[in-house]
């Protein structure tokens, strides 16, 4: 019985990893790639808003798939799968060439944080997914 539980948990983990990557790659070509700037203390930080929008839509769709089709009570395995799938997607976060050239000259202080925006999005998106899944399990127990 223990082997079957491990196999079920590992299958759920792998399904979530691959579903995050697959859904992201399916949705990405259809949405525009927009770059926005955020000004903090007269420092301009560039953010790829299009990537963030696709990423959070992907997390929402994968969470919806988990709630409707899979065993939503295994929160840890679902969230670990979503987080690992999010880490795989981090290398797809890019800027236009002009933004990459402009931001490479001055990369100190708060400006250095712009390269960690997708990492923060992966952690925040996973935590929001965990809270929503636990809340759903608590309401519909």
Nearest to 77 by CA among 125, 21, 133, 128: 133
- Give the mean model confidence (pLDDT) for residues 10-28: 91
pLDDT tens profile 75-128: 888 899 999 999 998 888 876 655 555 555 665 666 667 778 888 889 999 999
Q: What percentage of the chain reaches a pLDDT higher than 70?
A: 84
- Domain span at residue 71? 2-139
Between residues 131 and 32, which one has the greater pLDDT?
A: 131
Between residues 126 and 47, which one has the greater pLDDT?
A: 126
Is residue 60 scored above 90 in pLDDT?
yes
> Would you give the distance in Å from CA 66 to the centre of its chain?
15
* Average pLDDT score, the chain: 82
Is residue 17 scored above 80 in pLDDT?
yes
Phi, psi (deg, nearest 5) at residue 70: -115, 180
Q: What percentage of the chain reaches a pLDDT higher than 90?
A: 29
On whether the CB atoms of residues 130 and 83 are closer than 8 A, the answer is: no
pLDDT at 49: 84
**Token pair of 22, please?**
């697959």
> How many structural domains are present in the chain?
1
Nearest to 62 by CA among 17, 103, 92: 17
């Amino acid at each position: 019985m223990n082997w079957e539980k491990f196999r079920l948990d590992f299958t759920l983990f792998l399904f979530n990893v691959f579903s995050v990557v697959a859904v992201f790659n399916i949705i990405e070509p259809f949405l525009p790639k927009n770059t926005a700037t955020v000004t903090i203390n007269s420092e301009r930080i560039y953010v790829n808003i299009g990537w963030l929008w696709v990423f959070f839509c992907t997390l929402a769709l994968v969470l919806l798939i988990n709630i409707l089709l899979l065993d939503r009570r295994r929160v840890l395995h679902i969230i670990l799968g979503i987080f690992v799938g999010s880490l795989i997607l981090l290398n797809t976060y890019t800027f236009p060439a002009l933004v990459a050239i402009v931001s490479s000259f001055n990369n100190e202080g708060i400006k250095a944080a712009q390269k960690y925006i997708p990492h923060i999005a992966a952690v925040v998106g996973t935590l929001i997914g965990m809270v929503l899944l636990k809340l759903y399990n608590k309401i519909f127990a």
